[in-house]
Amino acid sequence: MSDVSRYLPLSQRPRRDESGVTGDWSERLAAVLTSLAALVDGLAPEARAGVHDDLARLVWRLRATRRERATAALSRRSPRALSDDLPALLRAVTTDSARRRPLGDLAAAVITALDVAEATGSPIDIDPVTLGAVAVARALNAPLPIRAVLRDVTLVAIDGDWFVGRGPESRSLGASIVLFLYGRTGLPPAYDGEQEENHG
């Protein structure tokens, strides 16, 4: 397991001081939401309209109670955020310091941020440890076709100290690996040494 495992409770890492391990991902979530809000602020109105529903679903999820989430899951629909000022709502979530955030909330924010970046052709910077934590957790619970691929290949993030899978190594950008794990893209393209030098 890569070094990112030290951030995941109950992972298969060597025994050591566990005092720094937490199930609260609120700080990393706040960082992702701040970057996402800044990205959306810079979008033209038509581009913002194109990603409105994805952002509204994320805002609703992060503001909803467990009971509201359970009710929505049973009815198979997610209510939309009421305000059109979604960047402001994203920033408001980051100030809710009283609420502990599970890894699932962080994963939802990361994949939404990557989806919005892909859809709008806009860059977004997400910390490599954040990407790694989301990737490692997803690899453990991914749909069967994704897990089948991971049995035959090790996807190594060239921009982070983490990897998922088994088998021969294929080196790619961390964001590309996460998008693959969530079924957004096919297997990410492998980077060779020359590409990595240019990337760095």
Q: How many residues does the chain have?
A: 200
CB-based contact 107:115 (threshold 8 Å): no
Nearest to 139 by CA among 26, 31, 11: 11
Inter-CA distances, 102 with 4, 124, 154, 157, 185, Å: 16, 22, 26, 23, 25
Return the beta strands (E) in the chain as ranges: 154-157, 163-165, 169-172
Give the phi and the psi of residue 195 in degrees, each rounded to 5: -60, -40
What pLDDT, on a 0 to 100 scale, did the predictor assign at position 192? 73
Q: What is the pTM of this model?
A: 0.82
- The residue with tokens 């749909």 is 143
Give the phi and the psi of residue 156 in degrees, each rounded to 5: -110, 125
pLDDT profile of the chain (200 residues), mean per 10: 52 46 84 97 94 92 82 63 79 80 95 97 96 96 95 95 94 97 94 58
What pLDDT, on a 0 to 100 scale, did the predictor assign at position 118? 96
